[in-house]
Amino acid sequence: MAKVVLTLGDDVSTDAIYPGRFMATVLPSETPQFCFADLTEFNRALNGKQIAKGSVIVAGNNFGCGSSREQAASTLKGHELVIVAKAFARIFLQNSANLGLRTVICPTLEAKEGDELELSAAEVQNKTSGKRFPIVPLPKARQDVIDAGGLIAYARKRLVERARRA
């Protein structure tokens, strides 16, 4: 079970997730400190380790719109957050898969901060309200990359499997 720690509306820009003024910092080990930097209380809670890994951010349509900056996915991945949105911007969704950030498309989700969610391959169940919401599954190949921990981990796994068969 995962707790909703932040709810956002539609059109959440990569600049809101990872502000452009921090673009000189690109290492995945350093980007998490700037996650939602302009939401100062939330950023402070993240950096103070007050938000558990696996916690959920709920958003509306077009999460991750704007620039193609990979750091927007990297900063969220660094805190091991799960993003459940009605829809994602295409480039953000691909960057998320490449980095192994867990994303869930749930067009009808109803949830608020503090709600407890149970995520499965088919649905999101809001344990607080008792309601269930179907998800739109990601293509198998993309989900396999996320499940492996990102594109590099996926490629390593495939190479090891291939070597074992040889």
What is the structure's pLDDT at 48?
Answer: 97
The residue segments making up the domain with residue 135 are 2-165
- pLDDT score recorded for residue 24: 86
Q: Is the pLDDT at 26 greater than 80, yes or no? A: no
Q: What is the mean pLDDT of the segment spanning 18-44?
A: 92
Residue 26's alpha-carbon distances to 37, 54, 83, 103, 150, in angstroms, are: 15, 23, 21, 21, 17
CATH number at 70 reads 3.20.19.10
Percentage of residues in the chain with pLDDT exceeding 70? 100
User: Does residue 45 surpass a pLDDT of 80?
Assistant: yes
How many domains, the chain? 1
- This prediction has a pTM of 0.94
Q: In this predicted model, what pLDDT tens digit does every residue of 89-122 receive, in sequence order?
A: 999 999 999 999 999 999 999 999 999 999 999 9
DSSP letter at 31?
G
C-alpha 60/C-alpha 110 separation (Å) is 10
